[in-house]
Structure 1
């Protein structure tokens, strides 16, 4: 989706020139034989479609500001097909000063409602709500959803998280209305609450265009998911984060267009069944639950984390139905077993990229994790993120006993490298046993998820970790293998 940001007239002109180069100058605008012209003249000569395309790279707040650039721009922002209502600055203020939450919410709601009342494009490609809201704002949020659906929205995102960590009490979450998917909904001009000003009259038509639905800190239940699957025939991407109402999620049927399913931190979820689907990517982050993944021949990427150790919960047995198709597997193994090298793992013949997030608080050997790499005979990339807060450093001897030839492994990445014995022996294992190895990437970056600024002590430890990596690996890594230390 949108990534560039345009903040002034000069930026807008640069973007216009880029678009002009793509579509051809003759179709863009005609400056005639003028040699001297000012930026206002250039802007005023652009066709509406070009100006609206430029506005699509802005948030709603940025697009509205452009109405002051020239008369030509005054009302064009109302026709943009990308409505991105982000207000991260005010979200940060609420985190620091919770007493500001209620007035900030009211201002945000009134702002979104005002924009919607002035918006006059017949369709919307992207509609993004990103603010700290909950079920107390039910009336406003419901109307926003209905408005977006009435405009044949393609990508709808409700990000109601308090912060990016996404951990909140799901009891307070807004509940996604099932009526959106089971009947046509009329939006009247009546005022339903103090926070919801009169809205234009519209009708939610059949949901034919919704391709992406992202719900964060929004409760949605099994029945609503079922109705959604029936109503949204082109839905390709479903992301649900911190819903308290999901219990038994079932995705089933070859007629579904769904290709990407992400479920994160839904604490009430008891089981997931995905069968006979066209799914290409499945991600589940949460506590260990029964998984059923059967007859999904397009499923090439699976990411499982949090409560799943990848070992204790019969994980490989549960996902055995998709192992023949997998090309990219990512696991969280927060408590690796010391005797993992004695365990037997099923062969994953098509896996080319294997990523692991692993708890590494102590300096215990991590070589047992290489058994997972051995189970992938065609592995090309192996990535490991070591998680620790205060790493324990020991003076034990390096282990060299494990041998296995990795014929296709080209890239090894070790994040959280601190220069411990366990870090060094893991890097040396892959260097010694990978005949096609091209690059070893070492990143000593502090791996915690804290939002607090990194202290000077942590920065000092990172510098020491980089120095240790260079001293330990610099003279050992050779024979054409590139060593990269971030």
Structure 2
């Protein structure tokens, strides 16, 4: 009986395998496009007729997270692994037979020493009329190299778009990380990539002034992050929907941006000066999502001069603070300035896990009629944490749920795993004491 059962399973497995290999190539190729290129290559051994299917996939994803993790742990392997990665990408590019590609994604620690290879890949993507192009040349999510060592996106490449039948006319999304791009290239991309919907630039060393203007632009989302040479951004007369800026203090000009709904702003160690709100006067009443990344807001901002964000549904405050500084005044004023707020997220980045003995403060009563969900990330159980929780209990009339999350990056950087777990458990114990003070119908979740 046992042998017959095993035989039956083997036959079923064989039939299943035959059914898979008999699927038409037109059906298999799109499925392979959901895999990384290495994963797609492995399928070539499944059946003889699948041997070259990978050469026609429409999404070329050269993600190498595992290798990058290995390099971070063993930096001496960087040069060897770089060479392997470059050779692998060149092999795939050389043998690709598809007429077009939807996605081309490079994700590896590469710099100016690989200029020729990277430029060849970009030209390949242009010839294949790529729609989504990602050049992420950082280490494993981070990088310590100087911007002068970055690969530089060449001006001649984008200038050539005007004189050939191929280019970036099909490009919808472009993401460049640790790639230098200057103002001329930026303008050329906006002018010539007529289908461009999303543009993301991280850690470029060459951008100084950026101007995005013209209702003819299809650009809906723009991200400029840690471009440390940037001095001025001007966005006017566009249909931009989402804008993110993180970096040093700059001159920011927004004017006639009627479609702008989502804004994420953070201006580095100097914090957000109060003039950020004056810069938002043209659009504050239309925003639906606002995220602010800042240090010591109660020290660096003039309160209570805040405009009313009359259409805002979600507010995210990522705040760096010292010791047990109270954040209640700024936080309560921000919530009050958003009368239709539905969701509030407070992410606390404490410079020190130290606590200070003091009474829990209170802000003036200001009932909020629409706030339903509150999330506090980086909760340590300080008085400054508790007074914000109590403020929400007492003023958020429609509150349905509050989430307390003790996890924070500052603990990972400064404590061992055991020490981190101890701090987080102490925070949970403190949070449980607040649960008895919550309104009856409010769900209280501790992660």
**TM-score if structure 2 supplies the norm length?**
0.93
Partner of residue 148 from structure 1, selected from 125, 137, 142: 125
CA drift at 1:255: 0.4
> Which residue of the partner structure matches residue 79 of structure 2?
102
CA distance, structure 2, for counterparts of residue 47 and residue 453 of structure 1: 55
> Which residue of the partner structure matches residue 20 of structure 1?
none
> Which residue of the partner structure matches residue 180 of structure 2?
219
C-alpha distance 130-123 of structure 1, shift in aligned 2 (>3 A):
same
Between the two proteins, the alignment pairs up a number of residues equal to: 436
2:266 is equivalent to residue 289 of structure 1: no
> Which residue of the partner structure matches residue 270 of structure 1?
231
CA drift at 1:412: 1.0
2:278 is equivalent to residue 317 of structure 1: yes
Task: State the Cα deviation string for residues 366-391 of structure 1 (Å, max 9, x = none).
Answer: 11121111111111111100112532
> Which residue of the partner structure matches residue 5 of structure 1?
none
Question: SS at 1:385's partner residue?
Answer: strand
Question: SS at 1:101's partner residue?
Answer: helix
> Which residue of the partner structure matches residue 3 of structure 2?
none
C-alpha distance 104-37 of structure 1, shift in aligned 2 (>3 A):
closer
Pairs within 5 Å for 1:74-223: 74-184=51-161, 205-223=166-184
Cα RMSD after superposing both structures: 2.2
Task: State the Cα deviation string for residues 416-465 of structure 1 (Å, max 9, x = none).
Answer: 11111111111000110111111111111133385799511111111111
> Which residue of the partner structure matches residue 209 of structure 2?
248
Task: State the Cα deviation string for residues 283-336 of structure 1 (Å, max 9, x = none).
Answer: 001011000111111100110114276642511111221212111110012122
2:339 is equivalent to residue 362 of structure 1: no
Contact 2:274 2:302 in 1 (8 A): no
Task: State the Cα deviation string for residues 167-218 of structure 1 (Å, max 9, x = none).
Answer: 53110000102223222599xxxxxxxxxxxxxxxx7614321000000000
**4+ runs of 1 displaced by more than 6 Å?**
none
C-alpha distance 454-320 of structure 1, shift in aligned 2 (>3 A):
farther
Q: Hey, which of these two has a bigger chunk of helix by percent?
A: 2
- 292-301 vs 340-349, which moves further: 340-349
CA distance, structure 1, for counterparts of residue 65 and residue 303 of structure 2: 49
Contact 2:360 2:387 in 1 (8 A): yes
Q: In structure 2, list runs of 5 or more residues that go unmatched.
A: 1-10
> Which residue of the partner structure matches residue 7 of structure 2?
none
**TM-score if structure 1 supplies the norm length?**
0.85
C-alpha distance 405-309 of structure 1, shift in aligned 2 (>3 A):
farther
> Which residue of the partner structure matches residue 353 of structure 1?
314
